Amino acid sequence: MKGNVTLQPEELIKGCIAGKRPAQNKFYEKYSPMLFGISLRYAKNRTDAEDILQESFIKIFKYMKDFRAEGAFEGWMRRIIVTTAYNFYKRKSHIIPNLEPEKITLPVSDKNEVVSKMSHDELLEIIRGLPNGYRMVFNMNTFEGYSHKEIGEMMNISVNTSKSQLSRAKSSLQKTILNLFQREEQKIHLSMMAC
């Protein structure tokens, strides 16, 4: 590992398992941006995201030798991030463990241009504003593709609770985005009246 030699992922993994610091540093440099993005989706703020990422890398390095290549390595790391994020907030006792399921049906607004004009950071901030349980279920289902059964097993909640929390998360996001749209329309209306 001398100079600027680019190592293949398999070589990096072998180096990390052997405890070689240069391999671990290169591995971190290669994967931390992607994993930090995932961590940000689950975290309430940037500081928590950094803590979750740090804890996750400790676990990744510790359990790398146990990876069985039964799926994608990146998928394995994503699962560690998700589990670490969940446990991070569970330790803080902020997740609502059991909510009674309820059916929420809100009409979908045709104001999709509001969402399309929002930056990635603005959308991320809205998602971060969700209560912890809702945010976890929303991210696991929407971004990671976990089924309600898988989410229930990971979070130790029922399938119906997972469905309910996803429904409530979507409802909350819709309301927030619609409120932003209405405020924007009101600003435009007031500026036009001032002319």
**pLDDT winner (highest mean) among 23-27, 70-74, 177-181:** 23-27
- Residue 18 or residue 68, greater confidence: 18
Domain-terminating residue out of 78, 94, 110? 94
Cβ count within 10 A of residue 8: 8
Domain-terminating residue out of 59, 78, 94? 94
Region 21-35 average pLDDT: 91
User: Could you read off the pLDDT of 42-82 as tens digits, one per residue?
Assistant: 888 899 999 999 999 999 999 998 887 777 888 899 989 98
Residues 6+ apart with CB under 8 A from 95: 86, 89, 132, 133, 136, 155
Give the C-alpha distances (Å, rounded to integers) separating 13 from 10, 146, 186: 5, 26, 55
Region 2-10 average pLDDT: 59
- What domain range includes position 116? 99-195
User: 141, 148 in Cβ contact below 8 A?
Assistant: yes
Identify whether residues 90 and 105 lie together within a single domain: no
Q: What is the pLDDT of residue 126?
A: 86
Q: How many domains does the chain have?
A: 2
Domain-terminating residue out of 75, 94, 113? 94
Q: Tokens 């940000």 correspond to what residue?
A: 40
pTM listed for this prediction: 0.60
Give the SS3 label for residue 195: coil
Cα distance between residue 102 and residue 79, in whole Å: 28
Cα distance between residue 26 and residue 48, in whole Å: 23
Q: What is the pLDDT of residue 51?
A: 93
Q: Closest Cα to residue 149, out of 157, 159, 164, 139?
A: 159
Tokens of 110: 């045709």
Q: Closest Cα to residue 84, out of 76, 2, 150?
A: 76
Identify whether residues 103 and 193 lie together within a single domain: yes
* CATH, residue 69: 1.10.1740.10
